[in-house]
Amino acid sequence: MTTRHVKRAFKYRFYPTDAQAGELSRTFGCVRKVYNLALAARTEAWTRQERVNYNQTSAMLTVWKRTEELSYLNEVSSVPLQQCLRHLQTAFTNFFGKRAKYPRFKSRKKSRKSAEYTTSGFRFRDGRLTLAKMTEPLHIAWSRPLPEGAKPSTVTVSQDAAGRWFVSLLVEDPAVVPLPATDTAVGIDVGLHHLLTLSTGEKISNPRHERKDRARLALAQRRLAKKARGDGSNRAKARRKVARVHARIADRRRDYLHKLTTRLVRENQTLVIEDLTVRNMVKNHALARAISDAAWSEFRSMLEYKAAWYGREVVAADRFFPSSRLCSACGALQEKMPLSVRTWTCDCGTTHDRDVNAAKSLLAVGLTASACGAGVRPQRSTPGGQSAVKQEPQRATAGIPRP
């Protein structure tokens, strides 16, 4: 029996020549054009209560290439154009499966610039990557080595708003294997004053990356606002400066979360978090900026896929579970718990730190759900038989002090 390795994307920055940059820019534009044409065709068919699949849009692409108006589609590699049609098919599959909204058209200014190549669209030999329609290999900054003997199955080239070029290679990584099982478990309560509070009592500080660069970002945005819209080159330079500040913030935040989630997954067999609806929580305008900077959704996403890689378990407690008001020592439920209360004493005599108690309560309910096979939305009842879930409104700001 052969071992199936985890497929992992390795992302690197590269520096294209002027000819390569021009070729890739044309490819990005053609990918966007084909995606929008196919989406328009499928939307029109949908209004007639007809369905158009990938094979039909692929046939449409062949017809489009033969027209004089769209003959420029023949100048770029056909592989990224076919791949964007597959991505559109996936978007419709998710829409019909009620996992996503209806696909949207790609914007020239706002949409991500990217193109995906399969094995027929690139050549990778001796650490040198050459894309279709190009004669020279890409000048890649190999910041870390690929797994030994790795053979990319797909290559995705992209350019961010700051003008940086990236290439992502999807390969099988034999180094990603389940870690030895342990008996350790941890409850994790997210917040703003402290990014995470663990059931062990440890509090992990919130680096607040956006706040640290807020003055620099505001200055760049003011300079951009003063540029006239008709002043193309100067306005473009100012826009890139704003994008570079945003990229710096995002890169530092992502690096911090990667190190944090890797550590938690390596140290614990079971990790219990709360199923928060961040989309609704950011509607609170007083906290939206701080919540977005904390990136709770990104933290959860990293935690879940790394747990799947290394044989760990992530349990998400129900979002209505009253973790802050539930005594982790005796299980008594407090009627009210204002946000200003950071420490409180239960009738049983136990004095709690609000966030540590919430993490301990999450751990208890998570372990119960995991042992009983109750899934990722465990429920807990009070001694009187009434569901504790129904006594707590959605915790849009529970356990979160004002920044």
Candidates 23, 274, 293, 392; catalytic one:
274
Query: Nearest 5°: CA angle at 200, between 199 and 206?
Result: 75
Let me know: does 378 contact 321? Beta carbons within 8 Å.
yes
Query: What's the burial of 380, exposed, middle or buried (CB within 10 Å: 0-12/13-18/19+)?
Result: buried
Candidates 23, 293, 355, 392; catalytic one:
355
Let me know: does 317 contact 299? Beta carbons within 8 Å.
no
Can you tell me the distance from the alpha carbon of 352 to that of 253, in angstroms, rounded to the nearest whole number? 30
* Residue 355 among the catalytic residues: yes
Let me know: does 22 contact 144? Beta carbons within 8 Å.
no
Rg of the chain (C-alpha set): 25
Instruction: Provide the residue type at 330 as one letter.
Output: C
Sign of CA dihedral 237, 239, 240, 244: positive
Sign of CA dihedral 151, 157, 161, 165: positive
Match 């050549």 to its residue by tokens.
123
Can you tell me the distance from the alpha carbon of 14 to that of 155, in angstroms, rounded to the nearest whole number? 13
Let me know: does 52 contact 41? Beta carbons within 8 Å.
yes
* Residue 183 among the catalytic residues: no
Specify the length of the chain in residues: 403
Let me know: does 53 contact 164? Beta carbons within 8 Å.
no
Sign of CA dihedral 276, 278, 279, 283: positive
Can you tell me the distance from the alpha carbon of 250 to that of 42, in angstroms, rounded to the nearest whole number? 35
Candidates 189, 293, 318, 392; catalytic one:
189
Can you tell me the distance from the alpha carbon of 223 to that of 241, in angstroms, rounded to the nearest whole number? 9
Let me know: does 233 contact 221? Beta carbons within 8 Å.
no
* Residue 23 among the catalytic residues: no
Q: So which residues are the catalytic ones? A: 189, 274, 355
